[in-house]
Amino acid sequence: MDTRGKVALVTGISRGMGRQMALRLARHGINIVGAARTMERSESTWPGTLREAEAELRAVGVEVLAVKCDLLVRQDVEDLCKKALERFGRVDYVVNNARYIGPELFDPFLQFEIDSWQKHMAADLLAPVIISKLCLPGMIERRSGMIVNVTASVAHHDVPGMPGGGGGLCAAYPTMKAALDRFTVALAKEARPHGVAVIGLDPGATLNERFEIEIKQTGTHGLDMSIFHPLSVPAAACEYLCCACPDPMGYSGQVVVAKDLCRVLNLE
């Protein structure tokens, strides 16, 4: 599959899965439009910034457009897509990776504020919907493209080893991921006649930089840490779907479990 010169829009590239996915795509010659809230080190206590990711991607040898974007702000999301299309004239891949993480992630329903529900809805569901709506027309025109929506297994069932409510998390997160899965199925049906694949990617329990710090500070919240795997697992799965899969349409409308895909195809 010749991917050189194509363009991928990836959200949440300052750290974690988004950064590793973007790097994997860049190594195939795909130019990157990367979005994140943290532009400089002074803006966050967490490791990783948009500037650092931009430099790392440029070192691979591709063009990079780094866009500071808050997925909670609709105008930011729309501007992200407009800037991508103005700069490159096309978006061939969308990886809707970023999500909202608030301090109440493990709170039970009655302690969880309605404002926090709205934040989860904006970042976890509406942002992928807006990005898909603005990038899909060009894909349809070229009769090729892919939208990857990063979801979670807690959308449909609790994860073993995780305590409490919605799979151990607040009720909002699994609710939004379930809605995102349904959106993926619906959009895949509309996009299929135009040669555009829409795929859900379940990264599984992935250990990222932020979570490593959080468990050192606050403990594991009763989580079974044996269920976690490294960032390379979802990154390799995303790389395969976008760059090596001989028939992406075979996965369109489905949720692909990264760990299973990597095991079957001996990825990573």
Q: Which of 22-26, 45-49, 147-151, 209-213 has the lowest mean pLDDT?
A: 209-213
- 148 pLDDT higher than 70: yes
Residue 237 maps to which CATH number? 3.40.50.720
Q: What is the 3-state secondary structure (H, E, C) of 168-224?
A: CECCHHHHHHHHHHHHHHHHHHHHHHHCEEEEEEECCCECCHHHHHHHHHHCCCCCC
In percent, the amount of the chain with pLDDT more than 90 equals 72
The number of helix segments (H) and strand segments (E) in the chain equals 9, 7
- 142 pLDDT higher than 80: yes
In a domain, 50, yes or no: yes
- 167 pLDDT higher than 50: no
Number of domains in the chain: 1
Confidence grade of residue 47 (pLDDT, cut at 50, 70, 90): confident
Interval 169-184: pLDDT, tens: 788 989 999 999 999 9
Q: What pLDDT was estimated at residue 217?
A: 60
The gap between the terminal CA atoms of the chain, to the nearest Å, is 18
Lookup: tokens for 155: 């959308």
Q: What pLDDT was estimated at residue 103?
A: 78
Average pLDDT over residues 200-219: 72
Q: What pLDDT was estimated at residue 108?
A: 82
In a domain, 2, yes or no: no
- 71 pLDDT higher than 70: yes
At 176, which amino acid appears? M
Closest CA to 36 of 56, 54, 24: 54
Q: Which domain holds residue 130?
A: 7-265
H helices within 219-254, ranges in order? 232-239
In a domain, 119, yes or no: yes
Confidence grade of residue 40 (pLDDT, cut at 50, 70, 90): confident
Q: Which residue has the tokens 């404002």?
A: 115
Q: What pLDDT was estimated at residue 72?
A: 97
Interval 124-135: pLDDT, tens: 999 999 999 999
Q: What pLDDT was estimated at residue 161?
A: 46
Confidence grade of residue 242 (pLDDT, cut at 50, 70, 90): very high
Average pLDDT over residues 80-93: 98
In a domain, 1, yes or no: no
